[in-house]
Structure 1
C-alpha cells in the first residue's frame, strides 16, 4: 500500500485521524498528536501507541510500525512483547538505580539476621514505613536530596522526637549501607537534612516506676487473676515482661527458672539463657499456678500465653501509675537506698552485662548464689515481712566472702 502521509502534509492537516497504511495512523489535535499502530492478533483488534507527534516524526513512526509488524508476523502480540521488554528494562534499572523503598528492602534483608525475630519484635522498619516511605519511597536514591529528606521528617521532627530520631538513624543507615553495596547515593544528604531540621528540645521520659516503698501495698492488692499472678512474678523475679508472659513450667528446675535466649532482650545471636533464682514467695506463687493443665504459667485458655500488654492493662485498671517494666527500677532503687547488695550483683539480677568484653571473658560466673540471697530479701520486702537493712547487708557481704 502506498504511504498516504508526508511530513509537510501532516503539518497542514486538520485535526482528526490520518492513516498512513499498514495499520499506522496519526491522531492529530491542534499542534500535536499521537501515533497509533492498529493490528489484529488472534482475532482481537489491538491499538499500540508509538509516541507523540511531532516528537516522533513520520519516518520513526514507520520504522517502529515495521518492527512490530515483524513480531506480529512471528505470531507474537506486539503489546505483550513490549510489556515484557519494559519489565526487563525496569528490573535492570531498579537493580542499578533503586528507589529508596527498594534500597530499604535490600538493606533490611542484609541486616535482619542480626535482629530479634528477623526485625519483627522491634518493628525495625515501622518508623520508615509510616513516616518516610510515603514521602520519598518512590525517589531514586541517587536523586534523593537533603530537601526531600527534610520534607519527609519535618512533620515528626519536633512533635515526635523519639520516633523522628529512629527514622533518621535508619534512613541514614540505609543510605550508608546502599553506598557500600555499590549504589550511587550520598549519605551526607541525610546528615545535612538533620542540620536543616535543627536541634530538638527533648527530655526522655523513663518508664513510670512504682516507688519501692509502695511495692508491698501494690503486691497486697493483687488478686488471683492470671494477669495479676503475672504481675506478681514480674515483681518477684525482676524479669522483663517479654520473658515473664511466655514463662513455661518446663523452664523451672527446683528453685531456678531459666529464661530461654529467645525471650531475652539482646541482638540476634547475642542473647543467652538467663538463670533466675526463685525466692520462697516466688515458689509459693508457682505452686498455686501448677493447678492448671497448661504448659504456660500465665494463660487464659491453656493453649497460649497471655498477651504481652495484658499486665500493663491490669495495672491501669488497678489505677496504678507504675508500669511492669518499672518494677525493675523499683528493685534497683531499693538496692541503692538500702545498700542491699553490690552494684554488680544488682546488675546481674536485672540481666545486664557487667564489665567490658574482656572482663566478661574471664569473669564467667552469673553470681546465682549471691543473687538468690538478694532476691529472698527483696521478696521479704515485697510481701511486707520484716527485713532490716543491716540484715540484708550482712547476709550479702557474707555470701560475697
Structure 2
C-alpha cells in the first residue's frame, strides 16, 4: 500500500522521521527544527544526503531538490559525488572572479617571482604579508575587503615594527593593483585609505651597532678558536663580505688569492646584481687553510646540521667578544677606519664593501672592479687588525 505524501502541516507539527516518499524524509529534532534527508541506493549501497535545515528549507524546496538528484541518479551518477563536484567548480569559479586575499597573494607572487632574487624562495617578499595581513583578512574575498580590515591587520605593528608594517602595506597595495588589472573587482585605493587611517609616523632608523675601529685588533685576537664561528668571523673581518656571503662561502669559490662570490649570494635586485671578487690577504688565506679541518659539504664554515654556520651562531660569539658591536657592524668599523686614516680613495673603499658607486650612466662607463687597488687596501686593513702593522713599526723603532 502506497504511503501518503507528507503535508506542510505534518512537517510543522510532526516529530521523529516524517516520510514524504521517493527517498525524501524529514528528521525532526524538536518541534521547531529538523533536517531534510534524501535516501537513495547506488550499486546496492544505501546512502543519505542532507538537503538542508527545516524550516529554512520548505517541503516544496526539499521535493524540488530530491527530484533533481533523482534525475542525476537515473543518469548513473552518484548524487553526493556530483554535488561535491558542482560545489568545487563553484568555488573555483568564485576564486577566479573574486578570490580570497590569501589566493590573491599567491597569484600575485607567482606573477612577480621572476623578478625576485632566487624567484622569492627565501620568502622575504611574502613574509610581512603572511605574518601580519593574511592571518587577519586571508579568508576574505577581495571585493569585500574594507580599509578598516587592512587597518585592523596592521595597527598593532604600525609603530612597534614600522619598517615591517611599511613593507606589508606596500605589498598589499601591489596585490590589490595586480588583481584589479587582472579583472578582479577590488579597489587599490582601499589600501591608500587604510594607510591614511593608520596615520603619520616618522620612523627613526636605528643605526647598526659597530665596534670602534681602534678595538678591532683586540676583537680579532679574541676570535682565536679553530671552530666554524670564530673562523667565519675572522674571515668576515678580513674580507668585509656580508654575512650571508661569508657564512655560505665554499672552497670551490676560492681561486688563488681571490674569492669569487656568486650573484645569488650578493645583495641586490635580480638581473642587476653580479658576481663579485674579493682579494684575499695572507691572513685571510690562513683562515681558509685552518678551515680545512672543519671541511664538510664543501663549506668553509659548515653549520651543525647542513649548509653554512648560522647567523645566530656568529652573532652569539661576537656578542661575547664585543657586546657593543655586531658582525655586520664591522663593515662600519672598516669604513670609519678608511675615513680616519685616509687609507683609500672613496671609490676603492665603497667597492670593497660591494656598494654601488656612481649613477647608472657613470657605471656604464666605469666598469672596473678595482681589484688590484682593493688588494692593497685589504692587505693594509689585514695588517692593522692582525697587529702586523704595529709589529713593523716596533721593528723599525728597535
Give TM-score, length-normalised by structure 1: 0.88
Q: Secondary structure at the match of 2:283?
A: helix
Establish whether residue 25 from structure 1 lines up as the match of residue 20 from structure 2: no
Equivalent residues of 2:39, 2:48 under 8 A apart: yes
SS of aligned partner of 2:200: coil
CA RMSD of aligned residues (A): 2.4
CA distance in 1, matches of 2:12, 2:250: 86
In the TM superposition, 1:262-341 aligns within 5 A as 262-290=264-292, 294=296, 295-299=298-302, 304-341=307-344
SS in 1 for 2:278: strand
Q: Does 1:185 align with 2:186?
A: yes
Structure 2: gaps spanning 5 or more residues: 391-398
Map of 1:210-289 to 2, 5 A cutoff?
210-223=211-224, 224-289=226-291
Q: Secondary structure at the match of 2:277?
A: strand
Question: Helix, strand or coil for the counterpart of 1:275?
Answer: strand
1:301–1:353: structure 2 CA closer, same or farther, 3 Å change rule? same
> 291-300 or 371-380, which moves further after superposition?
291-300
Q: CA deviation at 1:243?
A: 0.9
Shift of 1:275: 0.8
Shift of 1:178: 1.4
Partner of residue 378 from structure 1, selected from 368, 377, 381? 381
**Residue-by-residue CA offset, 1:239-277 (whole Å, 9 max, x unaligned):** 001111122222222221111112111223322110111
Partner Cα separation in structure 2 for residue 276 and residue 23 of structure 1: 80
How many Å apart are 1:285 and its aligned residue?
A: 2.9
Alignment partner, residue 167 of structure 2: 166
SS of the aligned residue for 1:50 comes to strand
Closer, same or farther: CA 303–149 of 1 in aligned 2, 3 Å: closer
The CA distance in 1 between the partners of 2:196 and 2:370, in whole Å, is: 47
Name the counterpart of 2:395: none
Deviations 1:96-130 (A, max 9, x none): 11000000000111112222233232532222222
Q: 1:191 to 1:353 in 2, by over 3 A?
A: same
Deviation at 1:291, TM superposition (A): 5.5
The residue that corresponds to 1:362 in the other structure is: 365
Cα pair 1:114 1:268 within 8 Å, conserved: yes
**Distance in 1 (alpha carbons) for counterparts of 2:306 and 2:59:** 73
Counterpart CA distance in 2 for 1:126 and 1:327 is: 28
Deviation at 1:59, TM superposition (A): 3.3
User: 1:293–1:93: structure 2 CA closer, same or farther, 3 Å change rule?
Assistant: closer
Partners of 1:315 and 1:321 within 8 A in 2: no
Aligned twin of 2:396:
none
Residue of structure 2 in register with 1:60 after alignment: 61
Secondary structure at the aligned position of 2:237 is classed as helix
Q: CA deviation at 1:93?
A: 0.9
Shift of 1:203: 1.9
Q: Is the 8 A contact 2:302 2:308 kept in 1?
A: yes
Partner of 1:45: 46
CA contact 2:11–2:18 (8 Å) conserved in 1: no
Q: Which residue does the alignment assign to 2:393?
A: none
Alignment of 1:125-144 (within 5 A): 125-144=126-145
SS of residue in 1 equivalent to 2:356: coil
Over residues 16-63 of structure 1, what are the superposed CA-to-partner deviations in whole Å (9 max), with x where a residue is unaligned?
Answer: 443221112234544554432122333433222223445444333222
Instruction: Name structure 1 gaps, 5 residues minimum.
Output: 388-401
Q: Is the 8 A contact 1:293 1:302 kept in 2?
A: no
- In 1, Cα distance between the equivalents of 2:75 and 2:306? 62
In the alignment of these two chains, the number of paired residues is: 386
What is the TM-score with the length of structure 2 in the denominator?
Answer: 0.89
Q: Which residue of structure 2 lines up, in the alignment, with residue 392 of structure 1?
A: none
Tell whether the 8 Å contact from 2:13 to 2:31 is kept in structure 1 after alignment. Answer: no
364-373 vs 22-31, which deviates more? Answer: 22-31
Q: Cα gap change, 1:293/1:162 in structure 2, threshold over 3 Å: closer, same or farther?
A: closer
Corresponding position: 1:342 with 2:345:
yes
1:128·1:167 contact (CA, 8 Å) conserved in 2? yes
Tell me which residue corresponds to 1:76: 77
Deviations 1:71-90 (A, max 9, x none): 22233221111111111111
Structure 2 residue aligned with 1:390: none
TM-aligned CA deviation for residue 163 of structure 1: 2.4
In 1, distance between residues paired with 2:57 and 2:177?
A: 41
* Partner of residue 13, structure 1: 13
Contact 1:335/1:341, CA 8 A, preserved across alignment: yes
Q: Distance in 1 between matches of 2:181 and 2:233?
A: 47
